[in-house]
Amino acid sequence: MTQQNEIHIPNPQAGVAFIDGRYMPVAEATVPILDRGFVRSDATYDVAHVWKGRFFRLDDHIERFFASMRGLRMSLPYTYEQIAEILIECVRLSGLRDSYVQMTCTRGLPPVGSRDPRLCTQRFYAFATPFVWIANDEQRRDGIPMVVSSVHRIAPQAVDPRIKNFHWLDLTMGIFEAYDRDAIVAVLRDGDGNITEGAGFNVFVVKDNVLYTPDSGVFEGMTRRTVIELCEQLQLRCDVRPVAITELLGADEIFMTSTAGGIMPVTTIDGTAVASGKPGPVTRRLHDLYWQRQEDGWLGTEVSYRD
């Protein structure tokens, strides 16, 4: 499938993509303008990362990708193993040791004159680019300012957030609001006085050494899953349940989780310091353990680079 000896990618560390059975520079990768993934946001995707030459939880990401496709009544002519091979090859060709890796399935192009999604043939896209961080080095070290947005998250009864999707207008409006209020990120609310998630991240609240994270209205992120597992290993209590906005505002610690950054401390909320205004001990402990486990190869898939 990969034809490894025949592939030459100019400037590979800018990124490598896979479309229509071919590897190419990410700058040359395109989506047909009539693909329903483009004109109707009719698509699902998943994002894994490579850290120091290893994929983290690659099998889990691919399994979730297939579950999302099933939820949207999509299918592809690739097995789990073939998609893993494609993603690994994108990274190998790029030479990137730290990489952001995305796989996408779109509904595809409908027949001319048709609006029937059943008649579309799904399309697969993948790419590997340099690792993406939600926050810069200083923010990840010292803390990120967050606001509770006035924007409501799309209700799960309308669009199931457990299926990773491109319906980001509510999240994007939250980003604008955060900037307008001298913050970096925004967490959106539901209609019942609870928090949900932000643009590409989940939220955890720590109070009296107990962790809480929302149970609905959120994408169940892989880093979120990892934190819940690490809490079990550390014998830290972590409750997955509704989290009220008032609980967020009264937290001892707040942190975000994302593939694009791992575990990141939040030190101000709506312009007010969270506790001491510095990253708390639970956040620091989980942050250090998260990256140390990856350094140790936990749940890792090695990329075999060849010069």
pLDDT in tens, the chain (307 residues): 544 455 789 899 999 999 999 999 999 999 999 999 999 999 999 999 999 999 999 999 999 999 999 999 999 999 999 999 999 999 999 999 999 999 999 999 999 999 999 999 999 999 999 999 999 999 999 999 999 999 999 999 999 999 999 999 999 999 999 999 999 999 999 999 999 999 999 999 999 999 999 999 999 999 999 999 999 999 999 999 999 999 999 999 999 999 999 999 999 999 999 999 999 999 999 999 999 999 999 999 999 997 6
Q: What is the model's pLDDT at position 6?
A: 59
The CA distance from 209 to 202, in Å, is 19
Domain ranges of the chain: 4-131, 137-295
For β-strands 99-106 and 43-51, DSSP reports them as: antiparallel
Q: What is the model's pLDDT at position 2?
A: 47
Q: What is the model's pLDDT at position 28?
A: 96
Q: What is the dihedral of CA 49, 53, 59, 61, to 10 degrees?
A: 0
Task: Tell the CATH topology of 137-295.
Answer: D-amino Acid Aminotransferase; Chain A, domain 2 (3.20.10)
Cα-based distances in Å from 60 to 72, 107, 136, 266: 19, 23, 27, 27
Q: What is the model's pLDDT at position 7?
A: 78
Domain 137-295 in the same topology as domain 4-131? no
Q: Provide CB contacts within 8 A for 292, sequence distance 6+.
A: none
**Amino acid type, 115:** R
**Amino acid type, 151:** V
Q: What is the model's pLDDT at position 8?
A: 83
Candidate CATH numbers 2.30.110.10, 3.40.50.970, 3.30.470.10, 3.20.20.70; the one for domain 4-131: 3.30.470.10
Query: Whose CA is closest to 109, among 186, 207, 42, 189?
Result: 42
The CA distance from 53 to 96, in Å, is 8
Query: Whose CA is closest to 67, among 187, 170, 162, 209?
Result: 162
> Each residue of 33-72: b (16+ CB within 10 Å) or e?
eebbbbeeebbbbbbbbbbebbbbbbeebbebbbebbeeb
For β-strands 272-273 and 185-189, DSSP reports them as: unpaired
Q: What is the model's pLDDT at position 307?
A: 61
Q: What is the model's pLDDT at position 278?
A: 97
Predicted model pTM = 0.95
